[in-house]
Structure 1
Amino acid sequence: MKLKVLIVLVITVFACNSASSKKQTVELSCGQCQFGLTSQEGCDLAVRIDDKAYFVDGADIDDFGDAHDKDSGFCEVIRTAEVSGDIIDDRFKVNTIALKD
C-alpha cells in the first residue's frame, strides 16, 4: 500500500512540473534580422531570454501584422511580450504570447 501511494505521489509531482510553463517577459522579434540567428534562412519569430535567442515554434512572425512594417514589424523593431512556453531542443515552444507594447 505504501508503495502505491509513493508511486502516485511521484507521478503527480512530475505531471504538475512538466505541464506548467511560467509566464515571463521577453524580447520578441525576427531571429535573423534583430537577434543575429543564422541556423535557418528567411525571417522567423524568435524570443530572447536571459540574453540568448531562440526560434519560436507555435507562432508565426506574421501572426502579429506585417513583419516588415517600419514602425512595428518584427524585422524592424524588437518588441516586448509576456509569453509562456518551454525551451526544448534549443527552440522555444510557445503556449501563449501577449504583446506588451
Structure 2
Amino acid sequence: MSQRKAAALVSDDAPFGAWLRARRHEEGKSLEVAGRLAKLSVRTLRNIECRLSAEAFVFKLRALFRLADVLDIPREEMMSRLAREVEALEPQQARKEVTMWVAKQ
C-alpha cells in the first residue's frame, strides 16, 4: 500500500481517524510523514472503526503508540481515545482482552 493511499484511508468521516488527522495538522507534520504514520496504523484504525475482534488488532496498537509519539500526543490522551473506541467492541471477550492490554501499557 502506498503512503498516499494509507493516509487517505485515515478518513475524516471516521472518528478516530479524523482525530489523528487533526492532530497531524496541529503538529504541522507533512503529508509524507502522515503517510508513513498512517501506513503503520491504518489496519488498526480500520479494525477499531469497524468494531472488529480484538485479536485482529491488539498487536497493532504498538503502531498507534509510535504514531502518538511522533505527533506529540500524550500517551494518556491516546489511551483515553482508545478506551472510548474499545467500549463499543463486540463480543464481550474481545473488549475485555483489549481493555486489559491497554491497561498494562
Tell me the TM-score normalized by structure 1.
Answer: 0.25
Structure 1 or 2, whichever has the larger Rg, is 1
Larger strand proportion, structure 1 or 2? 1
Tell me the TM-score normalized by structure 2.
Answer: 0.24
